[in-house]
Amino acid sequence: MIEYRIEEDSVGMRLDKYLRKRLANMPTSHLFKMIRVKKVRVNGKRAQPEQLLVAGDVIAIRGDEQQLLGPAQGGERLPPPPPPVDPSELVILLEDDWMMAVDKPSGMAVHTGSGITGGTLVDYVRAYLGPKAVRNDFTASPAHRLDRETSGVILVAKRRPAMVHFTEVFTEGLARKRYITLVKGKMPKDSGVIELPLSEHQQTAESKARRGVNMQEALTRWKVIRQSSEAALLSCSIETGRTHQIRRHLAAVGHPVAGDRKYGDFAFNRDVRARWGLKRLFLHAERIEFPHPQHGGKVTVEARLPPELKDTLKRAALEPS
């Protein structure tokens, strides 16, 4: 028999997910069968795959330990090692035992994915933390997203309860995020709201064929910081977290973000690159306010505008006063 006692960092995890991590070499179908035939018990009682674990729970698994755990490698193909990165390059804005806030540079992907080469934010964070990146059965991970070409502050959970907390914070809209962006043209007024539904970015072709395009509510607030006849420097906040929301919203109202190669004005981008030296997307996550995962008190973290964006504003005569 094997027994596991649930520590704080595993609180809120589903039993089946916890067991898949602990018994990584066991086929999932066999694991569920063991639960079904009562070979897995929690606190001496019959277990359910979907039940959420709490601190102090004791999971007992009947069977031979060596057979349950399997060989060290399980005969499975190991994932490739992460690319070598220099953790000293990571700009840390805030760190404690529960979380980190990092200033992500433009061009760095948050996670690995198709077409992603080079070190990701995940690689840098885990290289920086070293052995401390893994706590019990949880590995330090970003708590939300930033587009690859967007720079600025991003939060990282170092413990499972912190990730559970941040998931709730972002789902319930309890975090306040402010972005700085440069857009094409003269804004019609000093501030405004864009409330325009956006199509679900990750919807599959099968889903679209079955039920049509899924539209999601989206709201972006903007305010002019500096304005010229050619471009405007804006402060933006979002009340929904749709993929590429700020970029898609501003493009939809005729004021695309400078340097945006996906939704932007290509002629404007070429002109801005030639005259103002802008070689990247001008979108920066400048500030975030959120309740701390340990004590719930309000925390504010800011990331300064990168030098290359400051240079662009100087050449465009749009530097904030």
Question: Token digits for 236?
Answer: 């933006």
- Backbone φ, ψ for residue 313 (5° rounding): -65, -35
Q: Report yes or no: 35 and 16 within 8 Å, Cβ to Cβ.
A: yes
The DSSP output letter for 76 is P
Q: Report yes or no: 103 and 151 within 8 Å, Cβ to Cβ.
A: yes
d(CA 92, CA 158): 14
The catalytic residues are: 147
Other Cβ atoms less than 10 A from the Cβ of 185: the count is: 17
- Backbone φ, ψ for residue 89 (5° rounding): -80, -10
Which helix (H) or strand (E) segment holds residue 204: the answer is none
N-to-C CA span, the chain:
68
Which helix (H) or strand (E) segment holds residue 249: the answer is helix 245-252
Question: Token digits for 55?
Answer: 């601190």
Looking at residue 61, its amino acid is I
d(CA 300, CA 175): 10
